[in-house]
Amino acid sequence: NAGVMQNPRHLVRRRGQEARLRCSPMKGHSHVYWYRQLPEEGLKFMVYLQKENIIDESGMPKERFSAEFPKEGPSILRIQQVVRGDSAAYFCASGADSYNSPLHFGNGTRLTVT
Amino acid sequence: RKEVEQDPGPFNVPEGATVAFNCTYSNSASQSFFWYRQDCRKEPKLLMSVYSSGNEDGRFTAQLNRASQYISLLIRDSKLSDSATYLCSIAGAGSYQLTFGKGTKLSVIP
């Protein structure tokens, strides 16, 4: 199954530590998106990347959060100095290089900050 | 007006019932429309795309009303397994990025 792969599924970090979330897009997809979902809330767009380029990071907090999608390897969402408010489900999605294409989601990383 | 709005529900319907959800959007230039289904603590899964002429997939029918700027999802003969949250998602013209509604929760009751 060449679906969107995310790891880890669950991540527990203490306040002040760093969290690194990984995402490998579906085979043939060159667009990667990160979304955050708080309990009982909708999906909030964070960042959109193509290989080696950040296309739109308008939904990502300016501080402590960064994202990359290197030429080789998975996309990484990095959260430095985590706080309790960062606890959420982080979903990665990938899409084809075509308008009108739906996004396909990975099974998410559930981050808990203690 | 929010970019994408959905009635959060919950919609509690008996098995076999027909239920419909609407989703309104504010950007008249929106071009791509989709319905996703999300089960509790799972990832969203694509249910169906929404085409201008309307489209059907088994018990599910999706429609687009550009004049009133909403899309709809109709589920006929509801099954217990249809219980989930239904998310609408929309992309603007020339945009790859999808904006999601907060979802409508459906509970199908025996």
Which of A10, A26, A36, A43 is the best mutation test for B, with the most CBs of B within 10 A?
Answer: A43
Contact B44 A100 (CB under 8 A): no
Nearest to A113 by CA among A76, A77, A91, A81: A81
DSSP symbols for chain A = ----EEE-SEEEE-TT--EEEEEEPPTT--EEEEEEE-TT--EEEEEEEETTEEEE-TTS-SSSEEEE--SSS-EEEEE-S--GGG-EEEEEEEE-SSTTPPPEE---EEEEE-
- Tell if the CB–CB gap between B44 and A105 is shorter than 8 Å: yes
**A window 34-93, beta carbon within 8 A of B:** 35, 41-43, 45, 48, 56, 89, 91, 93
* Interval A4-17 mean pLDDT: 98
pLDDT at B1: 66
Q: Select from A31, A42, A95 the Cβ nearest to the Cβ of B103.
A: A42
Query: Among all residues of chain A, which has the CA nearest to that of B30?
Result: A100
Smallest CA–CA distance from A108 into chain B, residue: B43
Chain B residues lying within 8 Å of A106, measured CB to CB: 43
Tens digits of residue pLDDT in A63-84: 999 999 999 999 999 999 999 9
Instruction: List CB contacts (< 8 A) between A31 and chain B.
Output: 96
B89 neighbourhood in chain A, CB within 8 Å: 102-103
What pLDDT does A2 receive?
75
Does the CB of A103 have a partner CB in chain B at under 8 Å?
Answer: yes
For B46-103, write each residue's pLDDT tens digit: 999 999 889 999 999 999 999 999 999 999 999 999 999 999 999 887 777 889 999 9
pLDDT in tens, B8-41: 989 999 999 999 999 999 988 888 999 999 999 8
